[in-house]
Amino acid sequence: MPDLSYENLMKHGLTHEHLMKELNAYRDQAQGANGKSVEKELAQETTIQQKRESPLEPDAKYDSNLRSDNSSLSIPEPAAQTPLVQAPPAWYLDLKPQGFQMNMLGKTKKATERQALIALDSMKDCIARCEKEESPNQLDKFIEELRDHVHKAEFLEVNKYIVRKKNMLDNTGLPRIFDTRFPVDLRADALQLYNRWYMQIFSVDPLRGIIKDKNRVDKRNADRIDPSWPGRLSAKYYGQGNLVIGQWWPTQLCTVRDGAHGAPQAGIYGEKDKGAYSIVLSGNANYKDEDKGDEIYYSGTDSKDSTPTENTTRMIESCDTVKQAVRVIRSWNLNKSNPYRPVRGFRYDGLYTVVGYSLVNADKAIYRFHLVRLSGQDPIRYEDNAARRPTRFEVAKYDDLGLDERGF
């Protein structure tokens, strides 16, 4: 049995494609030897990893005294581009296909349950057609259809029994889309759905886990995360964690809920002596920020004196000493002329290294940071095509929410 532990995969920088090849090779070898399925063994030996950290191992040489821009700096590649595919979770394996709840689903009269069962069958049928199709033109049509199935499934009302009955978390379900025959954006979106169902987060409300206080005058502070919400994740980690390129949220507070960013309002999030973990680009007209997609010039916050603010200091640490990449999230509060601006909400666009900075206002201690996107990542999903995030279904759902203010 190959070593599929999180630590080993991260150590060797294995991508999803490497993992699938190793799993398939192992299955072929084991089944050829004794004709038995190895799914049970895989489920037993591949542990559920709750670890959120995915530390990078930079191979570039940095000048610890770097203060100014250095465009020729070698940028390390991410240790792992795609979230790891794991064996089905224990709760999934514990549900027996012929159990009472499973049998009752076959007789259900609930419209939402019938709709979900039919939708998942249609998705799996579309996957099968994609797998068998040899005509490139016809395959493109099936791929577009499958995108719609996956994107609509984000708002499909399911529960653990429906997910188990349709085998969505094993090799006859969503993991079939992880194959390299499918476009990277579709694989990423299928992984995002897989990860959410894996964690038993079945709510389709984009604001799940958020408590809204409609009576507060200060709308910026009116919402908060429900302390009893079981799906909240920490943002105190380096790297991408379980996020996927293009992952989308309606508000910044939702990025905090899911561990993408750690501050409901501030643009920089980090810890003392650990640098910054993430930043949000939101387009303050008072700063001379510049967004070129793979290259960003980003301003720290104003200080009341000549001493850098805490958040600005985190970015300085990331450049000078910590040397870990930061997660970059773009907000639709960016200037409308910015082509990388999401059309709604907030979008995760990948890992960037802080390669340099300059002091632009000594009196207010305003620093301008130069960030470069790590190579080897999936493309930023900003173009007006079927791969763009937010999807048309997410845009419609956002508009239905009727949020009072953009981004809050």
On whether the CB atoms of residues 187 and 16 are closer than 8 A, the answer is yes
- Name the least confident of 12-26, 123-137, 220-234, 304-318: 12-26
pLDDT of residue 377: 95
Indicate if the pLDDT at residue 29 is higher than 70.
no
The domains of the chain are located at: 6-58+84-198, 234-401
- pLDDT tens digits for range 61-114: 222 233 333 333 333 343 333 444 568 999 999 998 888 888 888 888 899 999
pLDDT bracket for residue 221 (50, 70, 90):
low
Q: State the chain's mean pLDDT as an integer.
A: 80
Indicate if the pLDDT at residue 12 is higher than 50.
no
Q: Which of 291, 292, 274, 279 is nearest to 350 (CA)?
A: 279
Look at the block and give the residue holding tokens 């992984």. Answer: 191
- Assigned token pair, 83: 């979230």
Indicate if the pLDDT at residue 137 is higher than 80.
yes
- Assigned token pair, 366: 């305003």
Handedness of CA 385, 383, 294, 341 (dihedral sign): negative
DSSP string for residues in 346-407: EEEEEEEEEEEEEEEETTTTEEEEEEEEPTTSPPP--SSSTT-SS-HHHHHHHHHHT-SSTT
Residues above pLDDT 70, as percent of the chain: 75
Residues above pLDDT 90, as percent of the chain: 63
Query: At 181, is the secondary structure helix, strand, or coil?
Result: coil
Q: Which of 330, 335, 332 is nearest to 348 (CA)?
A: 330
Indicate if the pLDDT at residue 15 is higher than 70.
no
- pLDDT tens digits for range 292-314: 999 999 998 888 888 899 999 99
d(CA 230, CA 50) in angstroms, rounded, equals 13
Buried b (16+ CB within 10 A) or exposed e, 227-238: eeeebebebebb
Q: Give Rg (Cα) of the chain.
A: 22
Indicate if the pLDDT at residue 374 is higher than 50.
yes
pLDDT bracket for residue 217 (50, 70, 90):
low
Helix (H) or strand (E) holding 44: helix 39-45
Q: Which of 258, 250, 257, 182 is nearest to 407 (CA)?
A: 250
Note the helical H segments in 100-240. Answer: 100-105, 111-132, 136-153, 160-165, 184-198
pLDDT of residue 284: 72
pLDDT of residue 184: 96
On whether the CB atoms of residues 327 and 278 are closer than 8 A, the answer is yes
Domain 234-401 belongs in CATH node 2.30.280.10: yes
Q: Which of 386, 380, 379 is nearest to 330 (CA)?
A: 380
pLDDT of residue 285: 67
pTM of the entire predicted model: 0.78
Span 200-218, mean pLDDT?
84
On whether the CB atoms of residues 38 and 31 are closer than 8 A, the answer is yes
Indicate if the pLDDT at residue 11 is higher than 80.
no
Indicate if the pLDDT at residue 1 is higher than 50.
no
- pLDDT tens digits for range 170-196: 999 999 999 999 999 999 999 999 999
d(CA 71, CA 30) in angstroms, rounded, equals 50
- Assigned token pair, 120: 């998942």
